Structure 1
């Protein structure tokens, strides 16, 4: 299943916002990752909008889309419930914490994993994290993975990661070559 975005919906792209003394931009990309067009503009820290080209399905049956930070919540909700056919949540659980790895004792890990999955499954909640594989987000991801692998007949648990584009590894593989496709046509 391919998911795409409205033509008038755009994604914010970096516009020469890297620090002059560093090779890494504030957006998380290397200076070499910015297009020559952006570098030639000479603008100071800024953002411009362009149609999204990052959408699709990851090999482990996981839909994704890159959206702008100012995309309307109603548009995202319609994408999740109508296009991706997720059941509307009865509860939304946002799990946040520092993006720093930490050790969790085996007993505490089991209690956290079971408790989180039980709450999510019994309430029909959506779990929202920062979308990276570090810190508490890693533990949430592992809890969902373990639950999914061991409970094939149980109710599905929805986990949504919201990560900045600049911190995604191998993001070039997420860019879709298909152009001019409408994700949400209303």
Structure 2
């Protein structure tokens, strides 16, 4: 449950009382509009899923190469303006570091704030001819409740 049916005027939301864990029914492949045939993978997991289980999923099931470096880009979700030169420098620098080190880029996975700039950098790289040089791994970790059209991500074959 995402807690959306809780009457906020009467009761404070509590994860232990209002969340019921069940085997995930939200996983699979996702197509990113505007990127041609580019697809990614997604899965809904519990907040207390162990890092070992997630690492196994990413490397053994999804066949991602083990990272040499993790780049975690965090910050507020408040949108801000970057001048074109600074934005281009951020995009090029992030992609260059990820490419040359075999890094995974981990971010909040939403289209706001600094996370939006990370997403745009990865998108621009995927659309460029230089993307043939190597894969960039970008992992967005967002809460289920903020995902737009999340119901379409539920795998109906699991039910």
TM-score band by shorter chain is 0.7 to 0.9
- TM-score normalized by structure 2? 0.87
Residue 14 of structure 1: how far off its partner (Å)? 3.5
Partner of 1:162: 141
- TM-score normalized by structure 1? 0.75
Q: Does 1:59 align with 2:49?
A: no
SS across alignment from 1:116: helix
Deviations 1:126-182 (A, max 9, x none): 0000010000000000000111111232111100000000000100000001127xx
Pick the aligned partner of 2:18 from 28, 38, 46: 46
Larger Rg: 1
Q: Does 1:79 align with 2:51?
A: no
RMSD across aligned C-alpha pairs, in angstroms?
2.3
CA 1:159–1:20 in structure 2 vs 1: closer, same or farther (change >3 Å)? Answer: same
* Unmatched segments (≥5 aa) in structure 2: 33-38
Deviations 1:41-88 (A, max 9, x none): xxx953221121101111231100000010011111011001111000
| Greater length-normalized contact order (CA 8 Å, ≥ 6 residues apart) | 1
The structure in which a higher percent of residues are helix is 2
Distance (Å, rounded) in 2 between the aligned partners of 1:94 and 1:176: 29
Q: Is the 8 A contact 2:73 2:107 kept in 1?
A: yes
Equivalences, count: 151
Distance (Å, rounded) in 1 between the aligned partners of 2:7 and 2:94: 39
